[in-house]
Structure 1
């Protein structure tokens, strides 16, 4: 897992074949501003060289092409060492996210409600949520390699493995994600970023709040003030919601050490034990 502490953007003009010039920008990252700027200049030069040599640009996919450009809010160290076991960041739409080195999270969405599904439900004895939960429970019981906590989210379920570590890029993680029908984009994100991610605070639009203005990092004072105003509105609105709700545990193990510390942080910030609507 690598969450950069500093970001920088560099921009230059590039000449096109027809004589026009266009601005070209590149982001760089690092552990301090100097390294971030050097990385930005390096990536910008590569982009300009592609334009000069008329080479195509690789298809952009933000989650996999580079570290996530997110504000670092909190670092969680191990109980027996100073190694980082988790980092809390703020994502592009303003929610706080837990990035965990070895604490496995699964993101399982409920199936879409199409016309056939709605007609089928007229004659069903169970709800789509009940059937999806039963399938998830069965997959976790068959796996049997860990103790799993299941949470309800606004759009499906979240699973946390509490009593043993997992490798985000490991084959057994990939197999578990496949058997539980975890979201594929989330699975690719975990593998590429070498960490598991779990959103800790509600999505703003589910609380009646727009997305935050601008993007991180905000270098101008006006942009910082606009974001501060947005954050105050978001925190006030999101106080009426929980991010997930604890449902049940599959297995008999218990979290300890680093896993327990991260579980407690997750459960406290998501407010999973409180009787609140989910967002």
Structure 2
């Protein structure tokens, strides 16, 4: 797991009579901004040399701060460090816990049986409206149906889903918990702490340490039906990750300013605005918990290193409180 404190970007341009090549590369360091810039300059020169020799490389590295590869570490603002744990702030302002060897998995409980307007269904209604307009020789009738029919069907679906949602959510959570308990029964040596989240459950294993790219972690994430993207990024970035502060839209609180969409390190013109946004967010966030501890499954074995991460996680998440989840 590499989550540097300092970041810099270098840009190199090469012109020929036939074309212009512009290459950008990131550099990073825990030592200094200058050290990060030196690495960026080195990497951009190496990339330019490879491209000029005919190798097919990206001219610019992906903008994603976390979902990146090609040897680029997690590029997020480092808020604090606790031994091997790094707390970062993600693109939408929430804090995330990053650990190189303590197993986390979020198991979403997605409600089933919800009605959705498909593209094919919407197209069929529009075609029906056009045909009706032609047959009735009324453009107004066709236009009214084309606008009103999808709206009416969507409104009816919304009302049906609203009535179905509580029961569907409860059933989805029951099924997710059954799957978690089944995993625990097959792996009795695991000490799993189970937390409720707004979308389902979070699991934290505290009996041992794990390699995020290892076969044991991969198989466990697959068996628990964890998000496939999360499992892939665990291996790519060499860390497990858990959000430990609320999502602002779940708090049903509209902060007074729009959050700048730029990624870390922020451009100078966004620094002040983002600071104001974070200050407003931090005033409201303590009224909510990110997850709530509900039970422990399996063995009672505790790894001291894993339990130290558990303490940090529970404190940031307010996992022992009765606060509403967000």
Shorter-chain TM-score range: 0.7 to 0.9
Match in the other structure for 1:160: 204
Structure 1 residue 63 and structure 2 residue 63: aligned? Answer: no
Match in the other structure for 2:263: 215
Q: Is the radius of gyration larger for structure 1 or structure 2?
A: 2
Match in the other structure for 1:170: 214
Q: Deviations over 1:129-162 (max 9, x none)?
A: 1111111221122122310001111222110001
SS at match of 1:157: strand
Gaps of 5+ in 1: 78-84
Preserved CA contact (<8 Å) 2:208 2:303: no
More helix by share: 2
1: CA distance, partners of 2:305 / 2:34:
33
More strand by share: 1
1: CA distance, partners of 2:205 / 2:93:
26
| 1:260 Cα deviation after fit | 2.2
Q: Deviations over 1:236-259 (max 9, x none)?
A: 232222111112110241545322
2: CA distance, partners of 1:244 / 1:140:
20
2: CA distance, partners of 1:98 / 1:224:
23
Structure 1 residue 101 and structure 2 residue 145: aligned? Answer: no
Moved more, 207-216 or 227-236: 207-216
SS at match of 1:28: strand
Moved more, 151-160 or 34-43: 34-43
Gaps of 5+ in 2: 117-160
Structure 1 residue 6 and structure 2 residue 6: aligned? Answer: yes
Match in the other structure for 1:82: none
SS at match of 1:106: strand
Preserved CA contact (<8 Å) 1:213 1:227: no
Preserved CA contact (<8 Å) 1:121 1:127: no
2: CA distance, partners of 1:123 / 1:102:
37
Match in the other structure for 1:144: 188
Match in the other structure for 1:243: 290
Q: What TM-score, normalized to structure 2? A: 0.72
Q: How many residues align?
A: 269
Structure 1 residue 134 and structure 2 residue 178: aligned? Answer: yes
2: CA distance, partners of 1:197 / 1:278:
18
Measured at CA, do residues 63 and 110 of structure 1 come closer, stay the same or move farther in structure 2, by a change above 3 Å? Answer: farther
Q: Deviations over 1:68-91 (max 9, x none)?
A: 1112222222xxxxxxx2221222
Match in the other structure for 2:88: 89
2: CA distance, partners of 1:18 / 1:112:
56
Match in the other structure for 2:275: 228
